[in-house]
Structure 1
């Protein structure tokens, strides 16, 4: 800033404060001229401006860091969501057969870039999608028919002689029979046949 000897100025000021005769005060007044005072004030003002500028930069950097941290967290959440979607899609591609036609399997594999060496190449690349859907529908209809045709046998109700009335065995038998009846009602409501025993 300035070439003022601040240490010498300080020492002269301290001596002048303790001077009873005025000799050191005169020396101090000789050293402290209007140009020295103005230079010190200018230097002080410049330091204050630099301090204010540094504080402004620090505040801006803090805000930028907060914003960058929020963007990073949002990007990490997005990546986690996307990796979960990709993992689910790859799992979906890998579970071909029972729930997905081969064409759907191939389309998903192509979409997500999954290599499928387990599939033979298509003989006819122009296989119509409706044919694949028909195969799926007929398989589902067959499974529904199998489920509707099946019959369930529930355990038989228990008989408890009347001489056990009021005993624990009597109460357990009543609970058992009510449970069997409730199961039969629920199974019939689901469309499944119940064999009478």
Structure 2
């Protein structure tokens, strides 16, 4: 992405573009990504969302996804994946700390009640914690491994024709690619932003 494109898509510029609108939510980057995905798939989107995407250069004046729009989708998916990974890692750290604390308290209680119990008496709790931590790490690795391969592009003059330089993607192909990558896709009705 060039410096001009990066400057155009700052949080401040996006918030300014949405000023005075009422989408009933404030996750503007998600709204932009959803609009570009729908446009790339050939669906008509709401006027306001389409206008904002066009002004920001995410859609062409014809309402097709621009190269910047496709890069924006890709980066948005990467950001969301990283955010989810970071959340899981934070939960993993909190879980490890809580398990360590619980094990120490459990061990101390046993030691006080039965002075002859040794430290390894609560190994089964540690095993359960290790299994849960391993499951969290596996989920993090799965999220890191996800990749969205965009489908074939089309040129639409008289009818859709496969073209590597085309400006159109089949909605079904885009949704299929997202689902194949393990992302949840909420479909909206025609003309709505999903």
Q: TM-score, normalised by structure 1?
A: 0.26
Structure in which a larger fraction of residues adopt helix? 1
Q: Normalising to structure 2: TM-score of the pair? A: 0.26
